[in-house]
Structure 1
Amino acid sequence: MFEDLRWHLPAGVRGLNNSFTALYARKLIEDHPQWASAFELRRRRTP
C-alpha cells in the first residue's frame, strides 16, 4: 500500500519516508479497525 502511494504522489511532493510506514499502519488500524487483518504488526522496541 505504501509503495502504491509513492506512484500517486502529487507533483512537487518528494516522497514518503520508510521510517514511518509502521506508524502509518498503526494509525490506519486505529482509525479503521476493520482493516487490522490487512497488516502484520510487530512489537515496537521504542514507545
Structure 2
Amino acid sequence: MSTPSETPHEPDGVPAQRRLALNEDWAATVVGLVLLILVLSGLWPGWLVP
C-alpha cells in the first residue's frame, strides 16, 4: 500500500485517471456534435445514428 508521500505529483494537480476521464468526455461530446451536424446537414441519414 502506498502512502500519499510516495505517489508522484501531477504538474497541474489533476490525477491521471481524472484527466483521462475528461479526455473521454470531450471525445464523446465532439463525436456527438459531429454526428448531429452530419445528420442536420443531410450528409448522413438519421436512421444510421442509434
TM-score of the two chains, using structure 1 as the length reference: 0.40
Structure number with larger C-alpha Rg: 2
TM-score of the two chains, using structure 2 as the length reference: 0.38
Q: Which has the higher contact order (CA 8 A, sep 6+)?
A: 1
